[in-house]
Amino acid sequence: MTKHFQGADIRDAFSRNLRLFRNRKKLSQFALSNLAGLAHNFVNDIENRKKWVSPDTIAKLAKALNVEPYQLFMTNPLDGNQTERLHGYLDELNERFAEAVGEIKTAFLPRRGKKP
């Protein structure tokens, strides 16, 4: 059965993840607020569910934390090891894909400037 989220659930997840990712980066609320261009008390209020955020603020916080905006809403965000592993897999996949495309180009496309 799919769980349906209420607004409070979304705020809880966002606030919890904001604190989680901030702590993983070993940032204080003050440091995060400076990186994101926000007031320190605003970051504190977000983490304590006293204030909500606009899409622009979500983007600023995600950029400052070096995460994707959707990660701030996940109910079970990846831990640091899982994130690193996932990045490794994606990097390897990108490399292999680029190699495969190069091989296909070489095998099936004539070189530019040369007629077949």
Task: Please tell me what DSSP assigns to residue 25.
Answer: T
Listed in sequence order, the residues at least 6 apart from 36 whose beta carbon sits closer than 8 Å to its beta carbon are 43, 57, 60, 61, 63, 64
| Spatial separation of the C-alpha atoms in residues 42 and 46, rounded to whole Å | 6
CATH of domain 7-75: 1.10.260.40
pTM over 0.75: no
- For 38-96, how does the pLDDT look when each residue is reduced to its tens digit (9 = 90+)? 999 999 999 999 999 999 999 999 999 999 998 898 876 655 566 667 777 777 888 88
Structure tokens, 3:
């769980």
